[in-house]
């Protein structure tokens, strides 16, 4: 590093201040160079006998320390266990110095304080935090397949209590300043403007009382807890973790073991146990996969959606056409981010329902778990519900969210386009219909694109921004910026049937039906998908999506790819019997109410029985291969057709769009762990099923050359 990241100053003659400000970066991370700088400053300061205290703060307003430099982590993934343990011990030893300086140490935290940054702050004697919404304190390492490795598992339970430490470390969630204060992690909370003064006041108070000296002694020893309490905590926490992770994520249970083991040790021994435990997790397949997901998300945050330096237009007003579930969800997403929104529908009753849904959603207070009247009063003026198309004239972007029918959508566009400003963007929330088809007849196709949200909008982070053949870069850049403004993760997709996610999802769902017809039991199909890591089985997914919706999407795909889209009578048979999925309380399963767990019923067996073919002998591996290999094959076709700009868009799209298991790193990351040659071998017994199971030219070339998807 050519420029210093850690600067030393003095607020008063006996109060030293280390300000961390990584040059050229939006956030501070603890790289090796930064840690070396910190060590150098401590070397000098520890020799002084005239200091009352040291304050560590950030030179970047709104962000303290985002944690370790994960790119350095990646470079060490193949290191031996003793090397990883030694890396942890070096960090622990450095941070422990903050709890042994001949003066009080105080962390002044404004903004995010995560991972290694939180560990640094915890090894300080005291912590003061700004009350701004950006201030978050957390140890999210389990989300990367790890647990804290610089003393966090030893230090946190001694400050905040073992039960609280178990919850924070195994859950990986962050807490705000007030919650940190309640746990004893923060010694004072104040406004960001008064944070430095508060830190100085803590130094002066500790200079007089020297309470920190007693805390140092207490926090260095074992934790006072009975064997009965320890056993109860271990049993309850272990059961909860296994229920949440389904055995797919080893880090939370490993963290629990280290926390419980370290409770009976002194802090030094607990740190050694932590380092040894980290060495077991670091570089594991799950760790590598979750690191990949982190970098996928980080890349997406920086992606403007276009290759050129195009400045997106400012969006001050959004219009939404269609007051159904999707339109209401899109409107709520905009209003929540304080973006004025007009929603229109021909039916006044639908608008009334939509207004109620939107305001209920944006007014919900997570803390009280109830509607907040003050939030309602704040957000209500931002929503305009009207049956008049004329009121869309003020919108910078108008998003159509009507029924998934090309003819109906084009009628809406013909009616609306002339009422919009000449520079306003028109977009469709279509999930499968090609943008080129929808753009037929538009006067300004360069200002038209797809902005496809996923259901339910409030929960699903993904948005597909679809580029039509005539869509301009400025339109795409503006759509991407809008999606990010309302808290979504947009992926730019070139035009084509099904776009990205649905094109990959439909082969998976299609194959589930084929497996059923080949004699696989419903419960075995569902279990196979869930064992792989999917959030729900494919047949349950049919019921959630709606069988009628799935049929419409399937028809689009069959029209485009008839040679590999199998048509069966299963869905039409169920639909004819009034079984549309959860919304009709019956589909592949029967439901007591719309949100109940699905149950098998005899009526389903009666309807499907005549359709079944001669049963095949199918192992669990057969089920898994038939469900997921068609997705890999379809992904190769998507890459061959340049539907996406990067293979990483495929992986993030499926993780965010359908819940593809993050612990596998993404569809193509998982495929790379198998290798193209192995996948070709796995496909050989399935070749009789036709083109949908036959290797593509890309896959065969990769098998021959040894290249990976992530090499592209």
- Distance separating alpha carbons of residues 276 and 270, to the nearest angstrom: 10
| Greatest Cα pair distance in the chain | 89
**Closest of 612, 610, 592, 589 to residue 601, by C-alpha:** 589
Residue 504 has pLDDT above 80, yes or no: yes
Residue 38 has pLDDT above 60, yes or no: yes
CB atoms under 10 Å from CB of 435, counted, come to 25
Higher pLDDT, 552 or 18: 18
Judge whether 318-496 and 502-576+613-711 match in fold.
Answer: no
- Distance separating alpha carbons of residues 449 and 439, to the nearest angstrom: 9
Kindly state the DSSP code that residue 536 receives in the 8-state scheme. Answer: S
Residue 10 in 3-state DSSP? strand
Helix (H) / strand (E) containing 517? helix 501-517
Pairing between β-strand 370-371 and β-strand 15-20 as defined by DSSP bridges: unpaired
Residue 413 has pLDDT above 70, yes or no: yes
Q: Dump pLDDT digits (tens) for 143-152.
A: 999 999 999 9
For the domain made up of 6-275, give the CATH fold. 2-enoyl-CoA Hydratase; Chain A, domain 1 (3.90.226)
- What is the structure's pLDDT at 523? 95
Q: Lowest-confidence range among 53-62, 556-565, 610-619?
A: 556-565
Say which CATH class 502-576+613-711 falls into.
mainly alpha
- Distance separating alpha carbons of residues 363 and 372, to the nearest angstrom: 5
**Closest of 167, 157, 284, 292 to residue 218, by C-alpha:** 157
- What is the structure's pLDDT at 518? 95
Buried b (16+ CB within 10 A) or exposed e, 572-590: eebbeeebbbbbbbbbbbb
- Distance separating alpha carbons of residues 550 and 571, to the nearest angstrom: 9
Q: Dump pLDDT digits (tens) for 248-265.
A: 999 999 999 999 999 999
- Residue 377 in contact with residue 301, Cβ under 8 Å? no
Q: What percent of the chain has pLDDT over 70?
A: 100
pTM for the full model? 0.92
Tabulate helix, strand, coil % of the chain (nearest 5).
55, 15, 35
Which CA distances in Å does 553 have to 79, 414, 428, 431, 619?
Answer: 47, 24, 16, 8, 30
- Residue 501 in contact with residue 635, Cβ under 8 Å? no
- Residue 235 in contact with residue 650, Cβ under 8 Å? no
Residue 466 has pLDDT above 80, yes or no: yes
Residue 1 has pLDDT above 60, yes or no: no
- Distance separating alpha carbons of residues 347 and 69, to the nearest angstrom: 54
Pairing between β-strand 364-365 and β-strand 53-58 as defined by DSSP bridges: unpaired
Distant-in-sequence, close-in-space partners of 643: CB < 8 Å, separation ≥ 6: 493, 494, 496, 499, 500, 503
- What is the structure's pLDDT at 2? 59
Q: Where are the domains of the chain?
A: 6-275, 318-496, 502-576+613-711
Phi, psi torsion values for 700, nearest 5 degrees: -65, -40
For the domain made up of 318-496, give the CATH fold. Rossmann fold (3.40.50)
Q: Dump pLDDT digits (tens) for 425-445.
A: 999 999 889 999 999 999 999
- Distance separating alpha carbons of residues 595 and 402, to the nearest angstrom: 24
**Closest of 140, 103, 138 to residue 124, by C-alpha:** 103
Residue 370 has pLDDT above 90, yes or no: no
Cis bond upstream, residue 456 (ω within 30): yes
Q: Dump pLDDT digits (tens) for 514-572.
A: 999 999 999 999 999 999 999 999 999 999 989 998 998 888 888 889 999 888 899 99
Residue 16 has pLDDT above 80, yes or no: yes
* Mean pLDDT within 656-662: 96
* Mean pLDDT within 212-232: 96
Quote the mean pLDDT of the chain. 95
138, β-bridge pairs: 114
Cα torsion through 342, 345, 346, 351, rounded to 10: -100
* Mean pLDDT within 597-602: 92
Residue 508 has pLDDT above 50, yes or no: yes
- Residue 308 in contact with residue 473, Cβ under 8 Å? yes
Active site residue 524: no
Q: What percent of the chain has pLDDT over 90?
A: 90
- Please pick, among 41, 452, 524, 593, the residue that the annotation labels catalytic: 452
- What is the structure's pLDDT at 510? 94
* Mean pLDDT within 147-166: 97
- Residue 143 in contact with residue 290, Cβ under 8 Å? yes
């Amino acid at each position: 590093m050519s420029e210093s990241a850690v600067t030393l100053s003095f607020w008063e003659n006996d109060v030293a201040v280390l300000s961390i400000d990584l040059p050229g970066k939006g956030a501070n991370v603890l790289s090796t160079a930064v840690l070396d700088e910190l060590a150098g400053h401590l070397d000098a300061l520890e020799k002084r006998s005239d200091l009352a205290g040291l304050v560590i703060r950030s030179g970047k307003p709104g962000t303290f320390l985002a944690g370790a430099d994960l790119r350095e982590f990646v470079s060490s993934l193949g290191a031996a266990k003793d090397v990883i343990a030694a890396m942890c011990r070096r960090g622990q030893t450095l941070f422990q110095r903050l709890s042994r300086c001949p003066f009080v140490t105080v962390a002044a935290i404004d903004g995010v304080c995560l991972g290694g940054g939180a560990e640094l702050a915890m090894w300080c004697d005291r912590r003061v935090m700004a009350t701004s919404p950006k201030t978050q304190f957390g140890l999210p390492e389990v989300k990367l397949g790890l647990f804290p490795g610089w003393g966090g598992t030893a230090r946190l339970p001694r400050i905040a209590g073992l039960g609280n430490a178990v919850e924070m470390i195994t859950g990986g969630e962050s807490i705000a300043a007030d919650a940190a204060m309640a746990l004893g992690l923060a010694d004072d909370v104040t406004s960001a403007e008064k944070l430095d003064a508060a830190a100085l006041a803590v130094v002066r108070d500790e200079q007089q009382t020297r309470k920190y000296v007693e805390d140092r002694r207490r926090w260095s020893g074992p934790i006072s807890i009975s064997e009965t309490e320890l056993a109860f905590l271990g049993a309850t926490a272990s059961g909860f973790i296994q229920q949440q992770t389904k055995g797919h994520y080893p880090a939370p249970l490993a963290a629990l073991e280290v926390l419980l083991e370290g409770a009976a040790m002194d802090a030094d021994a607990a740190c050694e146990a932590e380092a040894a435990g980290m060495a077991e997790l670091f570089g594991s397949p799950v760790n590598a996969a979750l690191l990949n997901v982190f970098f996928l998300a980080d890349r997406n945050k920086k992606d403007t959606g276009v290759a050129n330096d195009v400045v997106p237009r400012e969006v001050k007003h959004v219009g939404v056409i269609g007051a159904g579930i999707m339109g209401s969800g899109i409107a709520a997403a905009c209003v929540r981010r304080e973006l004025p929104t007009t929603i229109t529908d021909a039916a006044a009753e639908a608008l009334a329902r939509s207004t109620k849904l939107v305001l209920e959603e944006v007014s919900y207070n997570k803390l009280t778990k109830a509607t907040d009247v003050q939030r309602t009063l704040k957000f209500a003026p931002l929503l305009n519900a009207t049956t008049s198309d004329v009121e869309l004239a003020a919108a910078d972007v108008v998003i159509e969210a009507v029924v998934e029918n090309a003819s109906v959508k084009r009628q809406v566009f013909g009616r609306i386009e002339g009422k919009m400003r000449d520079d306003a963007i028109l977009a469709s929330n279509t999930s499968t219909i090609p943008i080129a088809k929808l753009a037929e007849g538009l006067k300004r196709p360069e200002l038209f694109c797809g902005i496809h949200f996923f259901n339910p909008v409030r929960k699903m982070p993904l948005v597909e921004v679809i580029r039509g053949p005539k869509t301009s870069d400025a339109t795409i850049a503006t759509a991407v910026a809008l999606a990010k403004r309302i808290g979504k993760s947009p992926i730019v997709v070139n035009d084509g049937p099904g776009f990205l996610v649905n094109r990959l999802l439909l082969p998976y769902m299609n194959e589930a039906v084929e497996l059923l017809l080949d004699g696989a039991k419903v419960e075995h199909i569902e279990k196979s998908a869930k064992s792989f890591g999917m959030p729900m089985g494919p047949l349950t997914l049919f019921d959630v999506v709606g069988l009628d919706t799935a049929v419409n999407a399937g028809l689009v795909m069959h029209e485009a790819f008839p040679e590999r889209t199998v048509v069966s009578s299963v869905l039409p048979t169920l639909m004819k019997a009034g079984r549309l999925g959860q919304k009709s309380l019956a589909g592949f399963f029967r439901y007591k109410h719309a949100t109940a767990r699905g149950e098998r019923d005899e009526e389903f067996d009666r309807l499907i029985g005549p359709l079944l073919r001669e049963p095949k002998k199918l192992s669990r591996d057969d089920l898994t291969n038939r469900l997921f290999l068609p997705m890999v094959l379809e992904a190769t076709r998507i890459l061959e057709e340049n539907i996406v700009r990067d293979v990483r868009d495929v992986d993030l799209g499926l993780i965010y769009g359908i819940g593809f298991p993050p612990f596998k790193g993404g569809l193509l990351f998982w495929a790379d762990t198998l290798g193209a040659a192995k996948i070709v071998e796995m496909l050989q017994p399935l070749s009789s099923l036709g083109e949908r199971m036959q290797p593509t030219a890309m896959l065969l070339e990769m098998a021959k050359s040894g290249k990976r998807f992530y090499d592209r």
